């Protein structure tokens, strides 16, 4: 039982406290009794002893009940502590498993982030390399020219184009596409007005925008004029030339906000193309080249078709002859089968012959005519 009074090193429970009070009262009463009347009767003394015994019995009963309650309280407390310990242990286990699963997921996400970061670094390096290429005017021109050449090589046969060919006016064109028949070659030149376009994109509102737009339009018109002057040669090149822009953004900007530049190209017979529209143009040219090649080979094709028809007729005659030989072979096989059946029957008769019988009893077949049927 838990103590109810603690004084220094002394701790008293309820039972001990009640007993101490009772003994104290009893001592006081006895002292008073002895001082007051020494001649008190023996019966009163015995009554007092009976009361003392009853009081001690009640105190003992109270002590037992208190002990039972203390044991029950201790048992309940132990059960609750055990249940709480079990729940805490289970909770710690579940929390540990969840933490391990979350750490595993975190590791997986970190791996994905590491791979993405590596890809970003690689992409950043490529972008940096592209920026270094585009910042140099000569390298920028080589970049656009290479892109144009790759598209031509992808969509046209090798014999239908040539690169860096010098014309009669000593001008070197980036590419010439050789059209079939009497059509002249189409000149293709790559231009990349990147600086003027970047200046336009970085300009603010007001006078800066107007100035940047004018410089960008003048730069594009200058490229159109150079192509028309250098590569539109009567009797040598086609009446229309192509100006290849390696940037879809610049091409879209021209057609969206600079219609006069596009009209200037139509006037000077210079068609502006982007990578996407250039692919469509090359696809159309390839179809024209294929159609022309088919027309050129029409005579050869007709001659070959005639030879095929002759070969088919000859094959049909040979198959008919083979069919006749096959039918004759079937008839010969049928007659040979008849002979083998007769030989088999005669062998069966010989096996069934009893040697003790008279030889005259051997059956004899009627005479047959000479030939394959015997």
Instruction: Give the per-residue pLDDT at 188.
Output: 94
- The answer to whether the CB of 245 falls within 8 A of the CB of 278 is no
CA dist list (Å): 274 to 87, 145, 196, 224, 286? 71, 12, 17, 14, 18
50/360 Cα distance (integer angstroms): 156
Asked whether residue 143 falls in the same domain as residue 198, the answer is: yes
Give the residue numbers spanning the domain of 21.
Answer: 1-35+57-74
Q: What is the DSSP letter of 246?
A: S
Same-domain check for residues 189 and 281? yes
Q: Going by C-beta distance under 8 Å and a sequence separation of 6 or more, which residues neighbour residue 246?
A: 143, 144, 147, 148, 190, 192, 274, 275
- The closest of 166, 175, 316 to 241, measured between CA atoms, is 175
Residue 289: Cβ within 10 Å count: 18
Domain count, the chain: 3
Would residue 111 count as lying in a domain? no
d(CA 332, CA 335): 5
How high is the pLDDT of residue 264? 92
Note whether 11 and 5 are within 8 A (CB): yes
**Assigned domain for 216 exists:** yes
Q: Is residue 303 part of a domain?
A: no
One domain for residues 202 and 280: yes
- For residue 137, give the CATH number of its domain: 3.40.1350
Q: Is 231 exposed, middle or buried (0-12, 13-18, 19+ CB in 10 A)?
A: buried
* 202: in domain: yes
Residues 280, 337 within the same domain: no
- Quick one: pLDDT at residue 177? 93
So what's the pLDDT on residue 241? 94
Residue 297 has a pLDDT of 75
Are residues 346 and 363 in contact, defined by beta-carbon separation less than 8 angstroms? no
Is position 100 within any domain? Answer: no
The total of other beta-carbon atoms located within 10 Å of residue 227's CB is 26
CB atoms within 10 A of CB 236: 14
Structural domain contains residue 10? yes
69 and 132, same domain (yes or no): no
In terms of domains, do 325 and 288 share one? no
Q: Are residues 331 and 222 in the same domain?
A: no
Report the 3 state secondary structure along 20-65: HHHHHHHHHHHHHHHHHCCCCCHHHHHHHHHHHHHHHHHHHHHHHH
The count of other CB atoms within 10 Å of the CB of residue 156 is 18
- Characterize the bridge pairing of strands 186-190 and 241-244: parallel
153 vs 111: CA distance, rounded Å: 41
Residue 308 lies in a domain: no
Using one digit for the tens of pLDDT, what is the confidence trace for 202-234? Answer: 877 778 888 888 998 999 999 999 999 999 999
- Check residue 230 and give its pLDDT: 93
Residues of the chain scoring pLDDT < 50? 4, 6-7, 127-130, 132-134, 355-362, 364, 367-374
Determine, yes or no, domain membership for 161: yes
Let me know whether 253 and 334 are in one domain. Answer: no
Give CA–CA dist 342/365, Å, rounded.
10
* Shared-domain flag, residues 292 and 323: no
Do both 192 and 258 map to the same domain?
yes
Locate the DSSP E strands across 118-213. 161-166, 172-177, 186-190
Per-residue pLDDT tens over the stretch 254-271: 888 899 999 999 999 999
Residues 277, 149: one domain? yes
Give the number of other Cβ atoms within 10 Å of residue 281's Cβ: 19
Residues 278 and 335 placed together within one structural domain of the fold: no
Average confidence score pLDDT of the chain: 78
């Amino acid at each position: 039982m838990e103590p109810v009074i603690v004084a220094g090193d002394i701790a008293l429970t309820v039972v001990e406290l009640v007993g101490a009070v009772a003994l104290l009262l009893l001592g006081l009463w006895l002292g008073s009794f002895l001082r007051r009347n020494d001649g008190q009767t023996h019966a009163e003394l015995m009554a007092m002893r009976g009361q003392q015994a009853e009081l001690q019995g009640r105190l003992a009963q109270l002590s037992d009940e208190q002990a039972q309650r203390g044991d029950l309280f201790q048992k309940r407390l132990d059960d609750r502590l055990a249940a709480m310990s079990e729940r805490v242990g289970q909770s710690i286990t579940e929390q540990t498993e969840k933490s391990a699963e979350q750490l595993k997921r975190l590791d997986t996400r970190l791996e994905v982030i590491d791979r993405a970061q590596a890809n970003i670094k690689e992409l950043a390096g490529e972008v940096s390399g592209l920026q270094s290429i585009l910042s140099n005017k000569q390298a920028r021109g080589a970049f656009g020219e290479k892109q144009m050449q790759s598209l031509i090589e992808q969509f046209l046969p090798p014999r239908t184009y040539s690169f860096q060919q010098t014309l009669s006016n000593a001008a070197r064109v980036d590419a010439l596409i050789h059209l079939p028949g009497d059509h002249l070659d189409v000149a293709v030149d790559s231009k990349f007005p990147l600086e003027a376009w970047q200046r336009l994109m970085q300009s603010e509102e007001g006078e800066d925008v107007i100035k940047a737009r004018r410089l960008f339009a003048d730069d594009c018109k200058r490229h159109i004029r150079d192509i028309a002057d250098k590569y539109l040669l009567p009797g040598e090149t086609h009446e229309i030339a192509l100006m290849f822009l390696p940037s879809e953004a610049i091409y879209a900007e021209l057609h969206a906000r600079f219609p006069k530049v596009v009209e200037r190209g139509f006037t000077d017979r210079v068609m502006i193309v982007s990578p996407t529209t250039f692919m469509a143009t090359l696809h159309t040219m390839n179809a024209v080249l294929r159609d022309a090649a088919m027309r050129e080979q029409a005579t050869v094709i007709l001659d070959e078709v005639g030879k095929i028809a002759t070969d088919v007729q000859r094959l049909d005659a040979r198959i008919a002859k083979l069919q006749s030989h096959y039918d004759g072979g079937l008839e010969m096989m049928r007659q040979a089968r008849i002979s083998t059946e007769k030989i088999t029957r005669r062998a069966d008769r010989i096996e069934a012959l009893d040697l003790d019988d008279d030889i005259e009893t051997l059956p004899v077949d009627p005479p047959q005519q000479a030939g394959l049927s015997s």
